[in-house]
Structure 1
Amino acid sequence: MLSLILTVFFVHVAIYLVNTIGASTVDSLLWLLYLRLPTPTSRTARKQQELKRAVLEQKREMNNTSSQDEFAKWAKLRRRHDKTMEEYEALNKALTSHKSSFDWTVKIARWLSTNGLKVFLQFWYSKTPVFPLPAGWFPYYVEWIVSFPRAPLGSVSIQVWSNVCAAAIALAAEIVGALLVQVIGQKEKVPVSEGEKAQ
């Protein structure tokens, strides 16, 4: 079992990643993964894509057929197109309904596994010290602040540790981002040859 220190840290890493990547991006990726699984919804999605291609082909064929010169052929194509379009719209409506319920479920699961877990841990372990401070190293008021609100005096509370983790992860991400920008910027600079320097 993970220690409380690492559990809180990894929860904050997950929260930071979801906030950075974006909840809607995570939802979209999960929806695409869900459609790859062998489920009735994925079969509906494949059928919907087939119908979409068929509708486009039939539309193209109708546009290439003259409604005045070849009316019988055009009318037959029109009826087939309308029937396929009805099937496509019905499947699209069903798929949209599945997607909205899927999104709702994913949002609840995402919140429970990130922010909900953070709140639960802070409530459940509010009186538990995350780790003790060395005795006599810090003045009373520092020990009181880091044990706030309910951890024993002389230890770090989960609320303080949670805030430290969030700040440290955000700072580390900023540093890594700045370093990446600097490294990429240096790679994009074109070196000047010796002949060009002399001119």
Structure 2
Amino acid sequence: MSLLITIFLLVLFTEIVGWIGKPLLLGIVSAIYARTINAGATRRLQDLKKSILEDQKQLAQTSSQDEFAKWARLKRKVDKGLSDLEKLNSEQNVKQTALSLKSNVVLWVLTSGLQLAITWWYRREAVFYLPRGWFTPIEWWLALPFAPKGSVSCGAWQMVCRRSIKLFGRVFGDLVQLSS
């Protein structure tokens, strides 16, 4: 695949991630993680919550003066369930924080990191050459930082792609609003 198309697709992917939003993507990743990889812990947490609620309901219906032994047993059971729930919640929060951090790193690498790497790796190569004399006043600027004179560098091409995609997105959004 040519450098021109690679950079365009990478910028398009980055803009799509921006349109969707990182919080929504992280929420989707978190939900998938909870339903697949961490399904057992999530199910245990839900079962424990359900059990605690049932025990609390029984405790509320039991008189502490008339049925002290039953009340004390239920109270200990509820307290133990609450401490287990707190422990499971803290473990889940640690896993969720780690997953969020890893997801943020992966998103950064797939968007900004790849763009920086491609720009640095191909900094001396031309994405494409311009016709001679058409863009004389800005030829040096389009070749920044190290591409040959009369060509378009990776950085300039990324900027052009990003601006074009954003403009197209705004125009498309406006057309959708007008049609509805």
Same fold (TM over 0.5): yes
Match of 2:12 in 1: 13
Shift of 1:57: 2.2
CA distance in 2, matches of 1:116, 1:178: 31
Match of 1:55 in 2: 52
Match of 2:145 in 1: 149
- Are residues 1:65 and 2:62 paired? yes
Code of the residue aligned with 1:4 in structure 2: it is L
CA distance in 2, matches of 1:106, 1:141: 43
- Are residues 1:100 and 2:100 paired? no
Shift of 1:146: 1.7
Counting matched residue pairs gives 180
Match of 1:114 in 2: 111
TM-score after normalising by structure 2 = 0.89
TM-score after normalising by structure 1 = 0.82
CA distance in 2, matches of 1:47, 1:139: 66
Distance 1:65 1:172, change over 3 A: farther
Match of 2:167 in 1: 171
Gap regions ≥5 residues in structure 1: 185-199
CA distance in 2, matches of 1:84, 1:31: 25
- Are residues 1:46 and 2:60 paired? no
Gap regions ≥5 residues in structure 2: none
Shift of 1:162: 0.4
Residues 84-114 of structure 1: CA distance to partner in whole angstroms, max 9, x if unpaired? Answer: 2122111111111111111111111111111
CA distance in 2, matches of 1:100, 1:141: 51
The equivalences for 1:19-34 within 5 A come to: 19-34=18-33
Residues 10-65 of structure 1: CA distance to partner in whole angstroms, max 9, x if unpaired? Answer: 2222222222332222112111112222x3x3321221121112222222332333
- Are residues 1:135 and 2:101 paired? no
Code of the residue aligned with 2:172 in structure 1: it is V
CA distance in 2, matches of 1:78, 1:97: 29
The share of aligned pairs that are identical, in percent, is 33
When the two chains are superposed, the root-mean-square deviation of aligned CA atoms in Å is 1.8
Shift of 1:118: 0.7
CA distance in 1, matches of 2:29, 2:154: 31
Match of 2:81 in 1: 84
- SS in structure 1 opposite 2:93? helix
CA distance in 1, matches of 2:135, 2:179: 43
Distance 1:139 1:7, change over 3 A: closer
CA distance in 2, matches of 1:10, 1:68: 72
CA distance in 1, matches of 2:66, 2:167: 71
